């Protein structure tokens, strides 16, 4: 169904869309809070029954086997990161040995930059952008300092023309002869814009520059083809669209053409498995992305992802993307129809090919409106200074819920309910 042609702003139309939704049965897999509508899956995905099951199975392995849980039980811990890498690979568009589940987003970025940032001659700078997530910038500044350079001169940030989006042409123009490495988001965390990763990778390689991507806001929401696009490396978290749990272990991808490159930050879990317990003082790195692990895996934070990835395997990322596009288009149609008089601006790309898994609404009273939404049992997401992010998640959000959310928005604005709150963010936004 093409919503732009058939859209109706009625609850009956929303219920009809739910009847036609071939992913609707997955909603039963998740713990949904009664009388509440969760629209923040782009920040933290909800717990599924399967993720709970595999966590409890790993606890049972510890309970039953003690230290032998490293090699015995439901999910032996010694190879758990590799197993999860294999299960994640179809979502990344990579071979199983190019993916490992390890570390966290920022730790993995540090590892990858420490490995692949090799300033030499005129090529000493890192190219990023001014709209990326702050933690990435902090890590890049840190790595530049470690190499003896000044971040003020050696971290180049491509500017946005409008404060919302990036133009690929501007990024390509900034790929100068002094750039040694490029780090960009797959999806911008505020606006939800998807960058053309294939084109950017081709242009970087044409100039002899390595390029890596932060996939935190795309993994589990859109398909990727990192191997086919010849991306050098990528890193991401697993707790947003992949529903791996708060503080869940992250993931990284390293193109097989770089296998054999010594890890910049070495640790014993980067060892080849058959050599790890030889306890030698010379590292024999794994002949895969596993080489870029550092320390012992956080087993109880890995375990829920086993169950979550089962669901993704069954649902299929192509089906998830199709539902995500349709339900977000429905959301935008409702916003335009119902909220036109209240000063909201849709700050996400309208084209499907350029929009990720969430919709950003801009409003000068955004912080107050978010508080009023929570008071009405809708869980949104706020990003300073003026963005309300809404993420109807393909696996557990219904069209009827989206319809209800917009009716609540309309009531909040018509009754000026937001005015009882301060227009400032909470400590955790």
What is the secondary structure of 360-415 as a DSSP string? EEE-TTHHHHHHHHHHTTEE-EEETTTEEEEB--TTT--HHHHHHHHHHHHHHHHH
Calculate mean pLDDT across residues 62-84.
98
**Prediction pTM value:** 0.96
**What residues have CB less than 8 Å from 274, skipping those under 6 apart?**
none
> Over pLDDT 90: what percentage of the chain?
97
**b/e sequence 271-283, b meaning 16+ C-beta within 10 Å:** beeeebeeeeeeb
The alpha carbon of residue 361 and the mean position of all alpha carbons in its chain are separated, in whole angstroms, by 19
- Average pLDDT over the chain reads 97
> What is the spatial distance between Cα 286 and Cα 74, in angstroms, rounded to a whole number?
24
Task: Output the pLDDT for position 428.
Answer: 73
What is the model's pLDDT at position 426?
80
Q: How confident is the model at residue 184 (pLDDT cuts 50, 70, 90)?
A: very high
Element (H, E) at 210: strand 210-214
Q: Which residues contact 94 (CB under 8 A, 6 or more apart)?
A: 224, 226, 227, 253
Q: What percent of the chain lies above the pLDDT cut of 70? A: 99
Reduced to 3 states, what is the DSSP secondary structure of residue 254?
A: strand
Q: How many CA atoms lie within 13 A of 105 on its CB side?
A: 21
- pLDDT confidence of 5, banded at 50, 70, 90? low
Encode pLDDT of 364-418 as tens digits.
Answer: 999 999 999 999 999 999 999 999 999 999 999 999 999 999 999 999 999 999 9
Binding site listing for pyridoxal 5'-phosphate: 105-106, 133-136, 214, 217, 239, 268, 296
Rounded distance, CA 206 to CA 190, Å? 30
Give the residue from 165, 220, 158 showing the smallest Cα distance to 194: 165
Check residue 423 and give its pLDDT: 83
The total of other beta-carbon atoms located within 10 Å of residue 228's CB is 10
The whole-angstrom separation of Cα 269 and Cα 372 is 47
Three-class secondary structure of residue 212 per DSSP = strand
Nearest-CA neighbor of 298 among 48, 84, 102? 102
Per the CB < 8 A criterion, the answer to whether 102 and 81 are in contact is: yes
Span 300-318, average pLDDT:
98
What confidence score (pLDDT) does residue 3 get?
59
Q: Which two tokens stand for residue 243?
A: 């529903």
pLDDT at 4 over 60: no
Predicted local distance difference test score (pLDDT) of residue 6: 84
Average pLDDT over residues 87-107: 98
Q: What is the pLDDT of residues 123-153, one digit of tens each?
A: 999 999 999 999 999 999 999 999 999 999 9
Q: Position of tokens 């966290």?
A: 104
Looking at residue 159, what DSSP letter applies?
Answer: P
Give the model confidence (pLDDT) of 337-355 as tens digits: 999 999 999 999 999 999 9
- Domains of the chain as residue ranges with CATH: 3-30+317-420 (3.90.1150.10), 52-313 (3.40.640.10)
| pLDDT reported for residue 118 | 97
Tokens, residue 208: 């002899």
Token representation of residue 187 = 């999806």
Is pLDDT of 2 > 60?
no
């Amino acid at each position: 169904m093409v919503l732009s042609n058939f859209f109706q702003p009625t609850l009956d139309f929303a219920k009809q869309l739910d009847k036609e939704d071939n992913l609707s049965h997955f909603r039963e897999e998740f713990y949904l809070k009664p009388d509440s509508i969760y629209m923040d899956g782009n920040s933290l995905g909800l717990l599924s029954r399967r993720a709970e099951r595999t966590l409890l199975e790993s606890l049972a392995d510890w309970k039953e086997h003690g230290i032998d849980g490293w090699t015995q039980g439901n999910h032996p811990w010694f190879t758990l990161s590799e197993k999860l890498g294999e299960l994640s690979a179809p979502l990344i568009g990579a071979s199983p040995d190019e993916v490992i589940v390890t570390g966290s987003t920022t730790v993995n970025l540090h590892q990858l930059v420490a490995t692949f940032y090799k300033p030499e001659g005129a090529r000493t700078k890192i190219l990023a952008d001014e709209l990326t997530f702050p933690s990435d910038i902090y890590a890049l500044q840190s790595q530049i300092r470690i190499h003896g350079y000044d971040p003020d001169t050696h971290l180049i940030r491509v500017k946005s023309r409008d404060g919302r989006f990036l133009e690929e042409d501007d990024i390509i123009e900034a790929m100068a002869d002094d750039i040694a490495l490029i780090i960009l988001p797959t999806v911008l965390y505020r606006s939800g814009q998807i960058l053309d990763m294939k084109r950017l990778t081709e242009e970087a390689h044409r100039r002899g520059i390595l390029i890596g991507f932060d996939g935190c806001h795309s993994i589990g929401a859109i398909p990727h083809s990192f191997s086919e696009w010849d991306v050098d490396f990528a890193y991401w978290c697993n707790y947003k669209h992949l529903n791996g749990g708060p503080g869940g272990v992250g993931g990284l991808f390293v193109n097989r053409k770089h296998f054999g490159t010594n890890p910049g930050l070495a640790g014993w879990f980067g060892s080849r498995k058959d050599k790890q317990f030889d306890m030698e003082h010379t590292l024999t790195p794994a002949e895969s992305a596993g080489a870029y692990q550092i320390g012992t895996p956080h087993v109880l934070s890995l375990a829920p992802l086993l169950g979550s990835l089962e669901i993704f395997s069954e649902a299929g990322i192509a089906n998830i993307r199709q539902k995500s596009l349709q339900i977000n288009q429905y959301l935008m149609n409702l916003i335009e129809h119902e909220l036109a008089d209240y000063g909201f601006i849709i700050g996400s790309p309208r084209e499907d090919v350029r929009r990720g898994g969430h919709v950003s609404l801009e409003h000068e009273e955004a912080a107050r409106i978010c508080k009023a939404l929570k008071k009405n049992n809708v869980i949104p997401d706020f990003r300073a200074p003026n963005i309300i992010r809404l993420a109807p998640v393909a696996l557990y959000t219904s069209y009827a819920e989206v319809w209800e959310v917009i009716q609540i928005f309309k009531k909040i604005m018509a009754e000026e309910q937001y005015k009882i709150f301060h227009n400032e963010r909470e400590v955790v936004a």
